[in-house]
Structure 1
Amino acid sequence: MGGEKGMTRVLLECSLTDKLCVVQEKQYEVIIVPALLVGTFLILLGVILWLFIREQRAQQQQPGLRGTAPIPPSRDLSWEAAGHGGNVVVPLKETSVESFLQTTAPALAKLQVPREQLSEVLEQIYNGSCGAIYRAKMNTGDSAKPKTVVLKALKEPAELHEVQDFLGRIQFYQYLGKHKNLVQLEGCCTESLPLYMVLEDVAQGDLLSFLWTCRRDVMTMDGLLYDLTEKQVYHIGKQVLSALEFLQDKHLFHGDVAARNILIQSDLTAKLCGLGLAYEVHAQGAISSTRTIPLKWLAPERLLLRPAGIRGDVWSFGILLYEMVTLGAPPYPEVPPTSILQYLQRRKIMKRPSSCTHTMYSIMKSCWRWSEDNRPLPRELRLRLEAATRTADDKAVLQVPELVVPELYAAVAGIRVESLSYSYSIL
């Protein structure tokens, strides 16, 4: 109380024109208000810096900064929708690989191929960390007509979870059933070690290598006509879309549609391979692996790590058309792989190649609409290709004079050069 009275006396003794008293009366407002403003600014600045540093660290920790990206979860797929037709992975209740194989034998009994029918290994196609891939002969009962197949072997020794995953992929093929534009499962050898998945052989190889061969000034090689017309591009494209429709009907998507993941036969029958991502969606309801895929084939929502879906495959199909009409050129050749998202965010797309008709380019652009809901579904797109086929040129051969240097292509495309040398690499 004494202090308050003292202050009152001081203020009463001042006149209205006394400047010193005015300053003393308002000094708290002059100091506190600016201090609060400065403090608030510093707090906001600290929060912004913290968010920026956290984002930079997250980007550094993510794989794929050299042209590949991790796979986001699937779009609109619950566990039940993804497991449409039943979960393919048998729960691990056994304590050894041998007992686990005995447990799963009844489910795979109809697929078993007697090992003695696999008479001769012709060549090793690839040898990876998960196992080797071979081309071999399989006896069909007619000794004069042995069948060439591809064997995917599981490495030895294998952990129990690796065996489970390997058998799950075989059961996934069993669930899918047959489609003329998907690589078919011929059978398996899983009753004892070593474990084999037996796939049909598409001897001509992948579409990307075929496109590169079309650049050479050679009309025929091993009886195969190495040239491509606009009409044939549509022919191959329709087959790929038919396979995507098939996957869509089973609540699946492919996730990595590209020329390197399409196998081609001598009659230009196309077979979509690389179904590893589709398997993961079916088995788990989402993609959980750490496998990455090239950025330049991904739709914007995939680059932004949003849920994936069939319309992302449609975007990639537009890139596939570009690959075919340019005879295997890498997409966005002027854009570094790690800058592709910023390029697309500016609503830029690839320019029309000189060998591409306006009709085909219009189809490409419909695939590259930023909003996925504005892109056509595979069936609608296939009908557009069928209409375009009726007026397409079937005489003029697509020509690109430059030969491809794989190392240069890999650098521009943002992929590993090792991935260009073999097929059947996934699943």
Structure 2
Amino acid sequence: KDLLFEIGAEEIPAGFMPNILGQLKQLAEIKLNDAHLPFESIATYGTPRRLALIVKGLADTSAEISERHKGPSASIAYDADGNATKAAIGFARGKGLDVADLVVEDGYIYAETKTAGVPAKDIVTDMLPQLITGLNFPKSMHWGNLDAKFVRPVRWLVALLDEEVIPVEFATVKSGNVTRGHRFLGADEITIKNAASYVDTLKENFVMVDQDARRELISKQLHDISASKNASIVWDDDLLEEINYLVEWPTALCGGFEESYLTLPDAAIITPMKDHQRYFPLVDQDGKLLPMFLTVRNGSDHSIEVVQAGNERVLRARLDDAKFFFNEDRKKPLIDRQDGLTKIVFQEGLGNLADKTERLLKLGRVFGEECGLHEDAAVVLERATELAKTDLTTGMVTEFT
């Protein structure tokens, strides 16, 4: 049989997802192996609103377990006439056997026991609640007046062994066969007929639950658009991974901004794009930054031009900030920013950055002498040391670290 277990929740932080899915798979494998319940394969899937576990080819019952238990020595277990002593009788009783079932081997008595297989339904009924409570998160939440904790409030549970609902309850939410589609495009209530139809049923409701397929589609869409613009993407695997867990139905799009912003340093443009807005910058064949970006919408291409305009408007505001800070910061030479270092704590017990700079100046003089620096080079070293930390007082570093 196939087992489906879906935990539906409010949007889970994208950075948490890979670790959570790994934990869920590992924990399920451990539980099934400990229960001696054979299975063919196990996989976990995840989107911002759900964690899903699918176990295929689950056996009807766990394997029968044969065990051999070593008891006391035969000289203690039996008297001179060969009669069982209290030691043998107690050992047999503890293993649920008659004393006549004990065997003697190598001077010791042994008890051989067999444990009958347990139905898969009973095993997974006990296992599924443990999967929920067994997951660890960087930060957990509890909601209402409940003591239950999870990464985000749990809103629905789906637990199916083929088409049979497995009873599970967590934080007053009871399991069933009803899930939810895309928050805006899919149905609020979707009945899952059986575990095998889960992925396809969600796809019909604008949810690509398979994160690997979703990642591959996002990558293809991004590269197709960049190729159509005769441009290259400033690629970032970590950014792709984050975007992958921010969407359930990805649609990539291209936006643009005024060329006047290209007078800013590339880093001042790329940082707002990638770190603030999760956009991919584009460059031309010579590696020069273009006034364009790629992003991924969590939805279809309906009214995509409206989404594009909204993203362009947000980026424009970010770039205006960058332009403002860059121009304002350059009005004041770095050497005039030394006083600001007294307001920035370096480390408790080690003073502020002005104190650190003083220590670096003393160290620099010692190193300069030991290395035999020429007087001109020593002056450059001292100047560089005086300026080394002053950029930390600028708005550019503060806002666009």
- Shorter-chain TM-score bucket reads under 0.3
Task: Return the index of the structure with the highest Cα Rg.
Answer: 2
TM-score (norm 2): 0.16
Higher relative contact order (CA 8 A, sep 6+): 1
TM-score (norm 1): 0.15
